[in-house]
Amino acid sequence: MTALVVVGTQWGDEGKGKIVDLLTEQADAVVRYQGGNNAGHTVMFGDQTHILHLIPSGILRDTMSILGNGVVIDLPELLKEIEELRENGVEVKGTLHVSARSHLVMPWHRLIDQLREAGKGEKKIGTTGRGIGPAYEDKVGRRGIRMGDLRHPKQFLDRLEEIIAEKNAMLNHLYDASDQCFDPASIHREYLEYFERIESYVTETPTLVNSLVEKGRRLLFEGAQGTFLDIDHGTYPFVTSSNTVSGNACAGGGIGPRHISDVVGIVKAYTTRVGSGPFPTELLDQTGDSLRSVGQEFGATTGRPRRCGWFDAVLVRYAVRLNGITSLALTKLDILDEFETLKLCVGYRMTDGSTHTDFPFEGHEDVEPIYEELPGWKTKTAGLTKYNDLPMRLLDYLKRIEELVGAPASIISTGPKREDTIVLNPDQFWKS
Ligand code: GDP
Ligand code: IMO
Ligand code: MG
């Protein structure tokens, strides 16, 4: 079997970019299968820091990188990202492939996302404002524009006229934004210019991916966001608009499930969330502030401060099951180096007094976390690269997490850089 999927097990920003970059060393191709430039994946090595939004993190190792059919693409943003990489010495020509079936995030998607959020006031979802929700709505509503549609200028114009008439009616009558209406002819011109610059990258990625599968090549599927932002399984409606779970690597990447051998769940040693929505272990006190400042918890895409809290084993256990996680990559343990004691949430007490160890359908806002307390290790672990150098108390914390969530750790990350990593058994991936 040839496919390994990397998924976030919490609310995103678990360190997927770092781990994907690390595992890419052993991979022949990296595929993004969902989401868009709402993602922000940080990769650090040497003195370089890269934040990737759309392009798979594999690009930094000059490995074939594919934007699959399940991704939604803001074309000018993709061109900007290509240009930024080029300026930093990373050439994507020949390495990057873009699915003709991927849907475009158009300017009205961005605008409607922002207008809707502004209109919701207190009830806003706290989206990244990148137009992701409206783009997926139009995909499912069969009003989307696919990358490959731009190969046919006449049909593209017909489609724009039909779609823009509807969008302008919404802007005029629903959002009182008649000054922001769109003109089909100028969008047509603008997007055909963009397309000229990207056309040589556009291909039938499912065919490409399956030809790699047939040759026995190692594929790495890079998830974006996290399990609890999944449209089906997350804390709806405070979620993103795609399926973020590993199963979507198949639909969004174009492979059959039998090819997946490993699912690596990325787990932050505590919990963070950006945007609105329930967060049972959130800390609105000084401990939460410490996690934010020591952990540098500010959004890689929007720069917003991330909400911080203790590790929630109820969430991650559910994520292990939903994604079929075969092993865990634990990140940011070093951020806990100075804490006197650490809390692990092992269950939820509901308002009616009942307790749950499985993630419940409702009542997330009001649950009271049931905590277990462990002593901190109070030793600097940042940058350690040998398992035997890890303090006993850190290993106890790690082992308790493994027990509670039902999956073994395969990678321990001790810092943001590629080299700050302990891989427990480097030969274990892509084996079964
Ligand atoms: P992603 O969206 O899951 O790729 O994660 P982000 O890049 O948005 O956020 C993770 C942040 O944590 C980035 O700034 C990483 O450089 C950083 N990071 C990843 N792993 C570690 C780690 O083990 N320790 C520390 N201190 N930072 C880490
Ligand atoms: P990575 O891949 C963290 C959150 C937003 C908001 C909700 C919906 O870097 O982990 P959207 O713009 O998708 O409609 O916003 O989802 N969100 C993320 N939070 N990490 C991300 O990506 C996110 N992508 C979206 O903050 O709450
Ligand atoms: Mg991120």
404 pLDDT more than 80: yes
8-state DSSP, 75 = H
Share of the chain above pLDDT 90, in %: 93
User: Among 41, 50, 53, 188, which one carries the catalytic annotation?
Assistant: 41
Residue 114 CB neighbours (<10 A): 15
- Amino acid in the structure at residue 222: E
Condensed to tens digits (0 to 9), the pLDDT of residues 64-91 reads: 999 999 999 999 999 999 999 999 999 9
**Pairing state between β 311-312 and 48-52:** unpaired
- Ligand 2 near 242 CB (within 6 A): no
432 pLDDT more than 80: no
Once rounded to an integer, what is the mean pLDDT over residues 8-33? 98
Rounded to 5 degrees, what are φ and ψ at 244? -95, -10
Condensed to tens digits (0 to 9), the pLDDT of residues 340-398 reads: 999 999 999 998 899 988 888 877 778 999 999 999 999 999 999 999 999 999 999 99
Confidence band for 1, pLDDT divided at 50, 70 and 90? low
Question: Do residues 321 and 365 touch, judged by C-beta distance below 8 A?
Answer: no
15 pLDDT more than 70: yes
> Lowest mean pLDDT: which of 215-219, 361-365, 406-410?
361-365
Instruction: Please indicate, yes or no, whether the overall pTM of this predicted structure exceeds 0.95.
Output: yes
Question: Do residues 342 and 374 touch, judged by C-beta distance below 8 A?
Answer: yes
Confidence band for 47, pLDDT divided at 50, 70 and 90? very high
The closest residue, in CA terms, to atom 10 on ligand 1 is 15
Give the pLDDT of residue 360.
80
- Ligand 1 near 38 CB (within 6 A): no
Domain ranges of the chain: 3-94+204-428, 103-201
* 377's tokens: 């290790």
Question: Do residues 41 and 16 touch, judged by C-beta distance below 8 A?
Answer: yes
- Ligand 1 near 414 CB (within 6 A): yes
Once rounded to an integer, what is the mean pLDDT over residues 329-349? 97
SS3 at position 146: strand
Condensed to tens digits (0 to 9), the pLDDT of residues 127-150 reads: 999 999 999 999 999 999 999 999
- Ligand 2 near 398 CB (within 6 A): no
At a CB cut-off of 8 Å and minimum separation 6, what does 142 contact?
Answer: none
Task: Mark whether 41 is an active-site residue.
Answer: yes
Q: What is the DSSP string of 264-315?
A: EEEEESSEEE-SSS--TTB--SHHHHHHHHHTT-B-TTT-PBPEEE-EEHHH
3-94+204-428 and 103-201 have identical folds:
no
Specify the CATH number of the domain 103-201: 1.10.300.10
Please state, in angstroms and rounded to a whole number, the distance separating the CA atoms of residues 429 and 95: 23
- Among 292, 331, 383, 228, residue whose Cα is nearest residue 16: 331
Condensed to tens digits (0 to 9), the pLDDT of residues 185-216 reads: 999 999 999 999 999 999 999 999 999 999 99
**Centroid of ligand 1 to alpha carbon of 257 (angstroms):** 29
Kindly tell me the burial class for residue 400, based on how many C-beta atoms sit within 10 Å of its own C-beta (0-12, 13-18, 19 or more). middle
Please state, in angstroms and rounded to a whole number, the distance separating the CA atoms of residues 418 and 414: 10
Domain 3-94+204-428 CATH superfamily:
Adenylosuccinate Synthetase, subunit A, domain 3 (3.90.170.10)
- Amino acid in the structure at residue 272: T
231 pLDDT more than 90: yes
Q: What is the dihedral of CA 306, 310, 313, 316, to 10 degrees?
A: 10
**Centroid of ligand 2 to alpha carbon of 7 (angstroms):** 14
Share of the chain above pLDDT 70, in %: 100
Instruction: Work out the mean pLDDT of the chain and round it to a whole number.
Output: 96
Please state, in angstroms and rounded to a whole number, the distance separating the CA atoms of residues 1 and 256: 11
Question: Do residues 87 and 273 touch, judged by C-beta distance below 8 A?
Answer: no
Q: What is the dihedral of CA 275, 250, 421, 13, to 10 degrees?
A: 0
Condensed to tens digits (0 to 9), the pLDDT of residues 107-133 reads: 999 999 999 999 998 899 999 999 999
Please state, in angstroms and rounded to a whole number, the distance separating the CA atoms of residues 180 and 107: 10
Once rounded to an integer, what is the mean pLDDT over residues 225-239? 97
**Centroid of ligand 1 to alpha carbon of 74 (angstroms):** 24
Give the pLDDT of residue 310.
98
Once rounded to an integer, what is the mean pLDDT over residues 162-174? 97
